[in-house]
Amino acid sequence: MTNSNIKPMSIGLFLKTSTAGLHREVEGKLSRILFHRDLNARTYYHVLLRMHNAYKEMEQAVNNYSVSQRAYVNRGKLRWLENDIAHLKPLITQVEGKHLSKMTLNLSSPAQAMGLLYVIEGATLGGEHIQARLTRHSWLDAQHGVAFFASYGIKRMANWHEFLAVLQKYYEHNPDDYDEIKAGAELAFQSIHDCLEGLNT
């Protein structure tokens, strides 16, 4: 629990400030891999595999609660990751049979699921910048292999504000849940961080 008895007015702003450190850490880890000058198709392929592993677990957790399931309708990311993986696989002459460690994400409340969604949806905001950097490689272009980072395309910001409105409405009906919402966001950041562990360009 926080030390203050004053509940935040904006749950989005509260999450942005209270998870800023985790956000920077995850963003830095991903950037060091994807923006490295020697990034190759094999490494990128393994990034996508691991992200798929993490997002599959997070989306399953979100779907365990009706409120977060409704908020996530038409927002699933797995199909984009699967399309990108399918594009990359033929470019790799030999795919190692590395076993992806099973991730277990145990959420204890719908509030945590909504916090998890804050990170999943917020992650789409930097996608345009990442897409632009990735498509500098000859084995990628705007139509192939970057669907996950392209995410909603021109609807990216509109979809983000739409989600924030849903999250704020949930919070206003459950004002005592802000620490639980934050806990869910922290779990999401940790899941993405952990899925990238050990990956180097």
**Tens digit of pLDDT at every position of the chain (201 positions):** 444 567 899 999 999 999 999 999 999 999 999 999 999 999 999 999 999 999 999 999 999 999 999 999 999 999 999 999 999 999 886 555 454 566 678 899 999 999 999 999 999 998 889 999 999 999 999 889 999 999 999 999 999 999 999 999 999 999 999 999 999 999 999 999 999 988 875
Determine the Cα–Cα distance for residues 103 and 54; give it in Å rounded to an integer: 7
Determine the Cα–Cα distance for residues 35 and 70; give it in Å rounded to an integer: 35
CA distances from 126 to 31, 38, 93, 175, 189 (A): 11, 21, 31, 29, 15
Provide the pLDDT for residue 84. Answer: 97
Provide the pLDDT for residue 101. Answer: 60
CA distances from 123 to 129, 160, 176 (A): 12, 10, 26
Provide the pLDDT for residue 96. Answer: 54
CA-based nearest residue to 111, from 18, 179, 13, 187? 179
Provide the pLDDT for residue 3. Answer: 46
Please give the structure tokens belonging to residue 3.
Answer: 């030390």
